[in-house]
Amino acid sequence: MNKKNPVTIIAVIFVVIVLGATALGLSFQTPHQADHNHDHSQEASFSDSLVADEEQEYTCSMHPNFRSTDPNERCPICGMELIPVTSSAARDDDLTRIEFTGRSLALLDLQTYVVQRGTASAQLRMIGSLDFDERSLTAISAWTGGRIERLHVNFTGAYVEAGDPLVELYSPELFVAQQELIQAHTQAQREAPGFLADSNQTTLRASRERLRLLGLSNTQIEAIIESGEASDRITIHAPSAGLVVTRNVSQGDYVNTGDTVLELAAQDQLWAVFELFERDLQYIEVGQQLEFNLRSSNERIQGTVESLGPRIDAERRTREVRVAIEAGENTLTAGSFVRAVVDIDVDDVMTIPASAPLLTGNRAVVYVRVAEDSSEFEARNIEVGRKLGDYYEVLSGLEEGDLVVSRGAFRIDSELQLRGRPSMMAPQGGGAVGHDHGHGNGHDHGSDAGGEQQAAHEQHEERVAPAGENLQLNELPQHYFAMWEALHSDDLKAWQSAAEQFYAAADDISWPHNMHDLHAELSTGAGHAHHVGSLEQARELFQVHSQAMIALARADYLQVNAYLMFCPMAFDNQGAFWLQPDNRLLNPYFGSSMLRCGDRVESFEVGHDNHGGH
């Protein structure tokens, strides 16, 4: 047997392998060739082929844990359209930027706003009622004790002219004083030495003054002197024209000196008394002209701010604003409900749309487009000031000319959260969170909802719902309060029943287009209330619903009395708000374990301004 050279064997094997690879269309490089191959286009095409081989995923901007490969599917939680899950061109260590592909950017439907400095206008809305001008009130008092013999005006609301008789009073003291006057006048008429004549005149003047202090006019005193007869009755006349607004006595009553018998008010001098929230005090000052509408007739009225209340109401945190108006030919009535709109112009202020910042308590986050034609966005922490109409004042964090995302910032934030990078919802990063609705449909929605719920609460804590024409909430508040009652009673079945009615009531409302996000919050968990298997999950949902309901209350859409409560220990000491229909605090986040934990923050009452919110 002939032995072959090992080198020859290896060479043959190598030739066979090369010929086979060539037949298959493959190529090989020697190590030396590989080290010097700088054809980046081949690397790029290889990378592109990997991306193309990956199946495109889609997610919900409101619930980023939901994933699907069907672009036409909708989110099973909130029903919103899905958006593509995109890869970012930014480096993993770039914590503040994110870039979208062209198609993703189009589907996000973002809008930007050029930050600018100038004059901002806002409208301050106040609610109040008409009342009589305190300066026009006249008290009719008993100048002497006695019995009411006759009431010439015996009902409130009667109109009297100046000089009209009001009350006839029987008074023994008055009778004695008249007799003293008649005697003093008789003595003063007799001839007497000089010093005695002076003494008689002094006594006469004292008698006249006593009767005047008892309520008699000079005309009445002269009539007594002329007739020479004393009377035990006196008629009290109206000192000025006006309406009888108070009647404190009835015919036959006894009164003491100084008791108020009647009270008159000038019907053409009225005050509009408004409640001004503490945060808005900077916009109103004495002497300012205001315009407001009478709610019953939508009549336009003007007035001047006469005074501000001496103190802020400790419970409502409001201060009274008194506006003097002249009724004139207008048929105005005390007690009428009025709404005031105050136009406020603020000069030299930098503003951004109210929809741009994601508010998180003391901090606000906005997303800025790097360049006008760029698909890259960066997050910035900013400091916001006053709410000026549909805009926020920017105190720091932005420059003039910056392109701020005015619509769609929440979707960008959700994408950052989805990628596990720092975002408004999750400042420390670490992945997206979602709500556990117990669907059991094969989709993983996550179970740790506390972070998202709390972020949503913080984002909407000071938010006011946008304006909606003729928005009627119908039975929505009642079903919300039913959920609150079930939770503070630890009754999961009652909550499930109330939640289903709540969702149905929300769907029946004709929501304006600018309230889509608010409706989405109210619909969180819709269709899955019966799947919620614990009170903890129900309470997480209730907190999201509460933020939307609070926004509606601040915008004066609720039309029922409600009280805003806050529990600082809810959700691991992060705190949570809720509304309830009465003032007796019952905590829905803890139920019987800590039923009284919390404080009342604000009241929303029908017929009062609740801006807003706050």
Give the 3-state secondary structure percentages of the chain, helix then strand then coil, rounded to 5: 30, 30, 40
Which tokens belong to 255? 């009164």
Mean pLDDT computed over 214-242 = 82
Q: 161, 238 in Cβ contact below 8 A?
A: yes
From residue 281, alpha-carbon distances to 163, 285, 490 in Å are 44, 8, 42
Q: Which of 75-84, 151-160, 206-215 has the weakest average pLDDT?
A: 75-84
CATH top class, domain 111-133+268-407 = mainly beta
Please tell me the distance from the alpha carbon of residue 538 to that of residue 578, in angstroms, as a whole number: 14
What residue type is assigned to position 36 of the chain?
A: H
List all residues 6 or more positions away from 112 whose beta carbon is below 8 Å from its beta carbon: 369, 403, 404, 405, 406
Domain boundaries, the chain: 111-133+268-407, 134-265, 450-604
pLDDT for the residue 54: 52
From residue 130, alpha-carbon distances to 152, 239, 275, 292, 580 in Å are 28, 24, 12, 11, 29
Q: In what order do the strands lie in the sheet with 599-604?
A: 576-580, 562-567, 599-604
Residue 394 backbone phi and psi in degrees, to 5: -105, 120
In sign, the C-alpha dihedral spanning 123, 128, 131, 133 is: negative
List all residues 6 or more positions away from 585 whose beta carbon is below 8 Å from its beta carbon: 565, 596, 598, 599, 600
35 or 540, higher pLDDT: 540
Q: 247, 156 in Cβ contact below 8 A?
A: yes
As a residue count, the chain comes to 614
Mean pLDDT computed over 520-535 = 84
What residue type is assigned to position 475 of the chain?
A: E
pTM: 0.43
CA angle, 360 then 418 then 64, to 5°: 85
From residue 414, alpha-carbon distances to 11, 122, 235, 285, 296 in Å are 60, 31, 81, 44, 46
Please tell me the distance from the alpha carbon of residue 198 to that of residue 193, in angstroms, as a whole number: 9
List all residues 6 or more positions away from 5 whose beta carbon is below 8 Å from its beta carbon: none
Mean pLDDT computed over 567-589 = 89
Mean pLDDT computed over 163-181 = 84
Res 223 pLDDT > 70: yes
The whole-chain average pLDDT of the chain stands at 76
261-318: per-residue pLDDT in tens? 888 988 888 888 998 888 788 888 898 888 887 766 777 888 889 989 888 888 878 8
Residue 440: other Cβ atoms inside 10 A? 8
Q: Is the peptide bond before 163 cis (omega within 30 degrees of 0)?
A: no
Q: Which of 452, 350, 335 is nearest to 400 (CA)?
A: 350
Q: Which of 114, 125, 121, 118 is nearest to 391 (CA)?
A: 121
Fold topology of 134-265: OB fold (Dihydrolipoamide Acetyltransferase, E2P) (2.40.50)
pLDDT band at 154 (very low <50, low <70, confident <90, very high): confident
Q: Which of 258-267, 319-328, 467-476 has the weakest average pLDDT?
A: 467-476
pLDDT for the residue 477: 95
Res 28 pLDDT > 90: no
Mean pLDDT computed over 335-347 = 81
Residue 298 backbone phi and psi in degrees, to 5: 60, 25
Residue 313 backbone phi and psi in degrees, to 5: -65, 125
Q: Which of 52, 77, 49 is nearest to 63 (CA)?
A: 77
Please tell me the distance from the alpha carbon of residue 462 to that of residue 570, in angstroms, as a whole number: 18
DSSP class per residue in 383-450: EEEEEETTEEEEEES--TT-EEEEE-HHHHHHHHHHTT---SS-TT------------SS----S--H
Please tell me the distance from the alpha carbon of residue 587 to that of residue 498, in angstroms, as a whole number: 17
